Amino acid sequence: MLRQRLFKKYFLATAFIVLFSLTVMMVIMVFAFSNNIADSNYATLNKTCSSISDFVAVAVENPASHNGEREIYYIMKNLADFSDIDVYFTDPTGTIRVCACEKWGADALCDHSGSILPPNFIERAKESAFHEVGTLDLYRTPHYVAA
């Protein structure tokens, strides 16, 4: 009888320690995984921004060899489809001129066309490349944003 109670005590203590340890490890893994996903998303956004910026810079320097907004759209669309992201091309005031969505590809207009991004976002984008989580006044919920 005494052995059974002692066994129960040790068993419960051991079970508690094991469950507590597993819970702590799972919490640590969730945070690590979450940070890894965020870093991966930011890296993808930054690479996409860089690729589109490079292409637009070449197109602006040599407009005769490029097809304007239509060619920019196809580059953006391919990168957006590959990365599963939304991509917008704006003028210096922040007005969206080209969107990588299907609707813009069909009509050269979409729900985003003519939308104006927040001035503070445009100013920060002009200063240097950056990334954050925000809505850009386009989304209801926060998204990863890079410029």
- Sorted by sequence, the CB contacts under 8 Å of residue 87 that are 6+ apart come out as 48, 52, 76, 77, 79, 80, 99, 100
Distance between alpha carbon 140 and the CA centroid of its chain, in Å?
15
pLDDT digits (tens, 9 = 90+) for 20-39: 999 999 999 998 888 888 77
pLDDT digits (tens, 9 = 90+) for 86-142: 778 788 888 888 888 888 778 877 888 888 888 888 888 778 777 777 888 888 887
- Sorted by sequence, the CB contacts under 8 Å of residue 124 that are 6+ apart come out as 130, 147
Alpha carbons 66 and 146: distance in angstroms, whole number: 25
